Amino acid sequence: MPDERFTLLPEERFAPIRGAVLARVRDAAQQVCGAAFGAVFDTGLERVLRNAFTVVGAHEGTVWLVDDSREHLAPRWNSGPHADKLVGIIRQPLGKGMVSMVAATQQPICENQVYRNARQDKTADQTLGVMTCAMIAVPLGFGGEVRGVVSVVQLKAATSTDPDPPGFSGEHLVQIQHAATVLGRLLDLRLLNLALGLSD
């Protein structure tokens, strides 16, 4: 038996407040880009990303969000052992580096041998004493616009002479894009529920 078609039309009773609700969600999304990110990024959202990172063989991943000045990307969450040296400390100028290029162009990248790319900003690597060998970075949108980037990397020690990790593929890129899309939609839902008083 074929599935019945599901149709849900906008409720006209809500039309007078629709603009106000959207404005409230956008305002909340801007706050989330700052220090408030931890207040909405709960265990469930974290699990979405960690699972995707594991599937693609990433050593760690980061959620970068545009800061209040709209001049930098700030790491608001990182899954790796150096999170305390990144989150709330490093800021990436929007005009510099590969992650910022993704935020500016809204186009994803998947690159191996990252250290050979002249666009790479090595500030984070130098701070942590690592070499980024492979990277995927994809735009993260919520609250009506692209507000950051989700990136994953494969690393080795800066002084290591070991071969590079295996790198990422096009299929891995698709998986991280999917995870970022799911994260954005879940953030939108969380903010909408908060705006309407439907959840804590």
List b or e across 135-152, with b for residues whose CB sees 16 or more CB atoms inside 10 angstroms.
Answer: bbbbbbbbbeebbbbbbb
Q: For 132-182, what is each residue's pLDDT tens digit? A: 999 999 999 999 999 999 999 999 999 999 999 999 999 999 999 999 999
The CATH number assigned to the domain holding 136 equals: 3.30.450.40
Residue 35 vs residue 29, higher pLDDT? 29
pLDDT of residue 2: 63
Q: For 73-105, what is each residue's pLDDT tens digit? A: 999 999 999 899 999 899 999 999 999 999 999
Beta strand pairing status for 60-66 and 145-157?
Answer: antiparallel
Instruction: Let me know if residue 59 belongs to a domain.
Output: yes
Instruction: Let me know if residue 2 belongs to a domain.
Output: no
**Number of independent structural domains in the chain:** 1
CA dist 85 and 134 (Å) reads 20
Domain of residue 184: give its range.
15-195
Residue 52: name the closest of 120, 111, 138, 114 by CA: 138
Question: For residue 129, is it left (φ>0), alpha (ψ between -120 and 50) or beta?
Answer: left
Instruction: Let me know if residue 111 belongs to a domain.
Output: yes
CA dist 153 and 83 (Å) reads 13
Instruction: Let me know if residue 54 belongs to a domain.
Output: yes
Range list of β-strands (E), 41-181? 60-66, 72-78, 92-93, 109-112, 130-142, 145-157
